[in-house]
Amino acid sequence: MGYYQCSPIFTAENECQDCSKCVRHCPVKAIKVADGQARIVPEKCVACGTCVRVCPAGAKRVRDDLTDVKQLLQQSKKVFASLAPSYVSEFPGIPTANIIAALRRLGFAGVSETALGAQEVSAKVVRELNEGRQKLILSSACPAAVTYVQKYLPEFAHSIASVFSPLLAHCTMLQQHYGSDVAVVFIGPCGAKKNEGDRHPELMDAVITFTDLRAWLGETRINPAALVIGEEDRFVPESAQEGALYPIEGGMIDTLRMQGGSDRVHYGTVGGLRGIEHVLGDLRPENVTLPTFLELLACRGGCINGPCATPGQAGLKQWQEVISRANIPAEPVLRQPLSNIDENICDLPLPARSYGEQEIRQALRRVGKESRDDELNCGGCGYETCGEFAKAILSGHAESSMCLSFLREQAQKKANALLHCIPSAIVLADNELKILDCNCSFATLFDESLLEVYEVCPGLAGASLRRILPFGELFEEVLKSGESLRRESLHVDNRIFDLTIFPIDPGLVVGGVITDVTDSELPRELIAQRAQEVIHKNLKTVQEVACLLGENMAETEILLRSLVEGFAPEDATAHKLVPSVEEK
């Protein structure tokens, strides 16, 4: 399937919500923020999956190789599943045989435990411990931890055990047992295993996560718990024993002791990349004087808490699930490790660029930090100190907008500029109608004597709005309803106001914009009043004229009738010579 150029961890475009949570939690700061998008920096990333776990928008994701696996199963070669031992905590209560049956239904020729490879790794490490040639040995089991040491603590790279990880050792075993032409797909809770597959395509063909497996089972409507199992539904070529303890903290150390690890060695487990930095950060390998073995794990609690494991169970319950289902031998087991699982671990230090004090100070000035007293080191940007943030800005991995105190200060400046430059009266008040801030126009709107108070206490903070405004009840109405209120031509005494009141934080903070429109509104009202008076007079005149016209027409009709009746002959038709007003 070839070497993947795509990083195991990536950002889904347009999904990032610019919250910087991934920056705050990434232990190596392998995040570059540009144009509000937090993207993975592949050369710095160790694929620990912390960003995947904490991203609230689901924008950080593990590369999906499920399509490649489905295509692989369509080929003629046999495909075996290497199942991580943490499956017992991922599918609690489901018998192992049912999980195997489900994977066989998906098309795998056989299912084998990655824990078999873990036992081989332990056997090789026991040999190194018992030989005692070096004081400090670090485990090679967790690929994210190994990559972290190589990139960020390169002086300890040669302290890593010179042996494959359990997964690569297991792939080697499967090829020896079934032939070099078989394909192997790892299934587990870890995205960092994809890096191993990318580096060793000759051993492993693909990696899918438990998240992928659950989606695949849902897509094919396979319910492992409901399957009828058969004789063939068992691990091949055999079941693992003590290696099944690897997915929990201290599990590898338990297997070392079961295989005869030296009692002269001091054993310890370090969980989390920050824990590894804390333990090894200020140390040099040559300063380790006691024989020591450290089990390094990128995920605290072990692989059962991997970034692609389903959360839910308590840690102790997960531990008990793993231990109770492990086939631990009653007596110590002395194993002879495979001869071809050696790994040459080299250091891969990141190219470090140093910045001068002047460059750092210039970067800090971009975010309003002129002196060291301005450096809050609040961590809101995701970096421990303002100095580290400045270096990230200089390297192009951070933006000035990530500084929360700078954003707050800029927003406050803009708000103050708007507040004090707008000619209208503006006031902000809390839910008790105590003034939070106002401009000078508001202070002199109803009582010019307040100007002296305003000069002493800008913004009149704490003053009672009710005692200043004659319509404070309108602000109370907006606080209760949460709806904006607009009043035009509001008459107060001999003045007229345009008023807009709006909620800022519903139920808690309310704002108002008040404009005195008396000078402009009064002439308009006078004109309207005079127009009404003229209209009234005109209507009265029209009515009087109409009345007079009606009386004159009635008198004229009577006179004409009398004349017609006096001169016309006694003929019925004569009355039609002059029609009446009604006939007209």
Taking residues 248-259, report their average pLDDT.
95
Residue 352 lies in a domain: no
pLDDT at 350: 83
Under 8 Å between Cβ of 159 and 136:
yes
CATH code of the domain covering residue 506 = 3.30.450.20
Give the chain's domain count. 4
Residue-range definition of the domain harbouring residue 434:
422-516
Report pLDDT digits (tens) over 7-65.
899 998 788 888 889 999 999 999 998 888 889 999 999 999 999 999 999 999 999 99
Domain harbouring 400, CATH code: 1.10.15
Percent with pLDDT over 70 in the chain: 88
Question: What pLDDT shows up at residue 5?
Answer: 43
User: 269 and 393 in one domain?
Assistant: no
pLDDT(136) > 50: yes
Domain termination residue (choose one: 325, 345, 369): 325
Within 8 A by CB and 6+ apart from 393, the residues are: 363, 366, 399, 400
Q: Is the pLDDT of residue 171 over 90?
A: yes
Residue 404 pLDDT: 82
Residues 385, 483 within the same domain: no
Q: Are residues 553 and 459 in the same domain?
A: no
- 42 lies in a domain? no
Does residue 560 register a pLDDT over 60? no
Same domain, 403 and 430: no
Residues 152 and 215 in one domain: yes
If you average pLDDT over residues 259-283, what whole number do you get? 94
- Looking at the structure, tell me whether residues 545 and 468 fall in a common domain: no
Instruction: Note the pLDDT of residue 417.
Output: 81
The pLDDT value recorded for residue 575 is: 44
For the chain, give the mean pLDDT.
87
**Residues 76 and 171 reside in one and the same domain:** yes
Instruction: For residue 180, report the phi and psi dihedrals to the nearest 5 degrees.
Output: -70, -10
- State the pLDDT at residue 13: 76
Taking residues 298-310, what's their average pLDDT? 92
**Residue 24 forms part of a structural domain:** no
For residue 566, pLDDT over 60 is answered with: no
Measure CA 349 to chain center. Answer: 30
- Among residues 370, 385, 408, the one where a domain terminates is 408
- In a domain, residue 340? The reply is no
Q: Does residue 547 fall inside a structural domain?
A: yes
- Asked whether residue 37 is domain-assigned, the answer is no
For residue 335, being part of any structural domain is answered with no
Using 50, 70 and 90 to split pLDDT, how confident is the model at 218?
Answer: very high
Structure tokens at 578: 């002059």
Predicted TM-score of the model (pTM): 0.74
The answer as to whether 174 is a domain residue is: yes
What mean pLDDT do residues 363-371 have?
A: 88
Distance CA 458, CA 424 (A): 17
Of 466, 493, 516, the domain-final residue: 516
Residue 83 sits in the same domain as residue 209: yes
The answer, yes or no, to whether residue 525 has pLDDT greater than 80, is no
DSSP output for 379-390: -TTSSSSHHHHH
